[in-house]
Amino acid sequence: MSTGLVSQDTIVALATSPGVNGAIAVIRLSGSQAITITNAVFKGKDLLNQHTHTIHFGTIRDGEEIIDEVLISLFKGPHSYTKEDVVEISTHNSKYIIERLIALLIKKGARAAQAGEFTLRAFLNGGMDLSQAEAVADLIASENKASHEIAMNQMRGGISNKLQEMREQLINFTALLELELDFGEEDVEFADRAQFEALVQELKVHIAKLIQSFAYGNAIKHGVPVAIIGKPNAGKSTLLNTLLDEERAIVSDIAGTTRDTIEESINLDGITFRFIDTAGLRETTDTIEAIGITKAKEKVRQAKVLLYLYDDKDSTADEVIAQVKELYYDGLIVILVRNKIDLQGGYHSNEMDTAITDVLFTNYSDSLVAISAKDSESVERLKEVLLDKIRGMAVEDQQIITNTRHVEALKQALEALGQVEEGLGILLPGDLLAHHVRTALRHISSITGDIDVDRDILGTIFGKFCIGK
């Protein structure tokens, strides 16, 4: 990584969330002059003579004017988040005080930090690799237990460690392949082709699993979109209200009450689900209702899970089968939900269930749950099935990919490794094999930043961070 990307400026920003009610705000500085600049406005101990990882009480002054009483935390590089000298000023959470302090520090020589610049410096100074830096943003944005755990694992190097291991193995073989070029006239092989092929196959399997994990990771990161769909009066709005434990959607015996989609999120055992109540599917001449039905079908295309509601009083097996087939796309999780069992004699399976599952369980679904949407205890069974389906997307102890940039790089690496494997099969010369290996290496290394990363790419990545991080 070119050190030219590392600014020599000392930067400053509010590190805590602006506009949030609370007693304390933290202002952060990082850079070679962080302690000197702070010391110039601090009345208390001489900060230049204090040890790292110490806290000091005093006042911040503009001339003789006291702006606030503060606590100063010192972190001397390289033992800090950015690997530079870092100062954190804990002050009272007043907009006026915060603005005065930052303006004063800028006046003394600091510069306002750009979005993500503290973490960018941590990356450029070797404090973390690029995938770990991106995980910091995911950790800040995590809204549930599952996304927090994934981000924390990535930030601690969960993905990086395995990628680094793969990278080193490929580098070793590339070196041997290229060494063969120096002995081309002697027709020697330093790289054992059988061992190399076994390694390539092993790496392809692992990368394929990482790519596969993205479906789960992305759903967890952004919340699992669940479309509730079915004919009018199937009980979709009642189910949404029971799931939310509040009267969010209008429930009526009049068909076509829901004209637009209604979206609400709930947390089930650490996973966020975004439930979408949609207009009932039917033929209609009502222009507004027809628009709602079109939007309902669009929402299914955006969903990860489809809850298809029906009851055997108002639907036939052929209708259910036809609608599910029409709505289905590859990768969609379909859960069939027979509703209104309180009116139909209970939970036991019936002939309609059998007719539906005989057709749909082959390629479209493998779950049928009988419920009464009015009964919260009954709906608990549906929640359990829903959780099992999402958890089933993840492999135990598997690293989880949540970043689109990472998954695209892995796909390109997998393609390059496929070319290596094909080359081994046709006895491709070592120099051409090495070219494909280097291509795979470049894509793997782009995830962790172990190669030169374009400034525009870094700007895109870190520009998504909040100011102060």
Name the maximum alpha-carbon separation found in the chain. Answer: 87
- Total Cβ atoms within 10 A of residue 441: 20
Identify the DSSP state of 5. Answer: G
Q: For residue 409, what pLDDT is reported?
A: 92
Helix (H) / strand (E) element for 92: namely strand 86-92
Residue 462 included in any domain: no
Q: Is residue 355 annotated as involved in ligand binding? A: no
Residue 165 included in any domain: yes
Cα(199)–Cα(71) distance, integer angstroms: 54
The answer to whether residues 382 and 267 belong to one domain is yes
Q: Is residue 277 annotated as involved in ligand binding? A: yes
Strands, DSSP E only, in 133-255?
224-230
- In degrees rounded to 5, what are phi and psi of residue 17? -65, 130
The answer to whether residues 330 and 419 belong to one domain is no
Q: Is residue 215 annotated as involved in ligand binding? A: no
Rg of the chain over CA atoms, in angstroms? Answer: 29
Q: Which tokens belong to 35? A: 């302690």
The answer to whether residues 235 and 358 belong to one domain is yes
Residue 458 included in any domain: no
Residue 468 included in any domain: no
Walk along the chain (469 residues) and give the pLDDT tens digit of each residue.
333 455 689 999 999 887 777 899 999 999 999 999 999 999 999 999 999 999 999 999 999 999 999 999 999 999 999 999 999 999 999 999 999 999 999 999 999 998 888 988 988 888 887 887 777 777 777 777 777 777 787 777 777 888 888 888 888 777 777 666 655 555 555 557 788 888 889 999 989 988 988 888 887 888 888 988 888 878 888 888 888 876 554 444 444 444 456 788 888 888 889 888 776 555 555 555 556 666 667 777 788 899 999 887 878 889 889 988 988 988 889 999 998 887 765 566 678 888 899 999 989 988 999 888 888 888 999 999 999 888 877 655 567 888 888 899 999 999 999 998 898 888 877 778 888 888 998 898 888 877 654 555 566 557 666 766 6
Q: For residue 4, what pLDDT is reported?
A: 46
Q: For residue 47, what pLDDT is reported?
A: 96
Amino acid letter, residue 189: E
- In degrees rounded to 5, what are phi and psi of residue 11? -105, 155
Q: Is residue 267 annotated as involved in ligand binding? A: no
The answer to whether residues 209 and 232 belong to one domain is no
Q: Is residue 237 annotated as involved in ligand binding? A: yes
Q: Is residue 261 annotated as involved in ligand binding? A: no
The answer to whether residues 173 and 235 belong to one domain is no
The answer to whether residues 202 and 270 belong to one domain is no
The domain boundary, picked from 128, 160, 185, lies at: 128
Q: Is residue 362 annotated as involved in ligand binding? A: no
The answer to whether residues 426 and 445 belong to one domain is yes
Q: Which tokens belong to 85? A: 């000298």
Residue 467 included in any domain: no
The answer to whether residues 177 and 282 belong to one domain is no
- The β-bridge partners of 70 are 58
Torsion sign across C-alpha atoms 406, 410, 416, 417 = positive
CATH code, domain with 230: 3.40.50.300
Cα(35)–Cα(48) distance, integer angstroms: 7
Residue 1 included in any domain: no
The answer to whether residues 388 and 267 belong to one domain is yes
The answer to whether residues 407 and 382 belong to one domain is no
Cα(310)–Cα(397) distance, integer angstroms: 37
Q: Is residue 278 annotated as involved in ligand binding? A: yes
Task: Look at the chain and report how many structural domains it folds into.
Answer: 3
Q: For residue 255, what pLDDT is reported?
A: 44
Residue 64 included in any domain: yes
The domain boundary, picked from 393, 412, 433, lies at: 393
CATH code, domain with 31: 3.30.1360.120
- In degrees rounded to 5, what are phi and psi of residue 73? -105, 130
Helix (H) / strand (E) element for 131: namely helix 130-141
CATH code, domain with 163: 1.20.120.430
Q: For residue 279, what pLDDT is reported?
A: 61
Q: Is residue 286 annotated as involved in ligand binding? A: no
Q: Which tokens belong to 171? A: 């580098």
Strands, DSSP E only, in 106-238?
111-112, 224-230
The answer to whether residues 387 and 277 belong to one domain is yes
Q: Is residue 255 annotated as involved in ligand binding? A: yes
Q: Is residue 253 annotated as involved in ligand binding? A: yes
Q: Which tokens belong to 204? A: 């392809």
Burial 368-398 (b: 16+ CB within 10 A, else e): bbbbbbbeeebbeebbeebbebbeebbeeee
- Total Cβ atoms within 10 A of residue 218: 17
Q: For residue 460, what pLDDT is reported?
A: 59
Q: For residue 2, what pLDDT is reported?
A: 36
The answer to whether residues 436 and 381 belong to one domain is no
Q: Is residue 256 annotated as involved in ligand binding? A: yes
pTM over 0.75: no
**Closest by Cα among 51, 48, 70 to 59:** 70
The domain boundary, picked from 108, 128, 148, lies at: 128
Q: Is residue 233 annotated as involved in ligand binding? A: yes
* Under 8 Å between Cβ of 116 and 464: yes
Helix/strand/coil for 267? strand
**Closest by Cα among 401, 65, 97 to 219:** 401
Q: Counting beta carbons within 10 angstroms of the beta carbon of residue 411, is it exposed (0 to 12), middle (13 to 18) or buried (19 or more)?
A: middle
Q: Is residue 254 annotated as involved in ligand binding? A: yes
Structural domain boundaries enclosing 34: 11-128
Q: Is residue 409 annotated as involved in ligand binding? A: no
Q: Is residue 269 annotated as involved in ligand binding? A: no
Cα(277)–Cα(281) distance, integer angstroms: 12
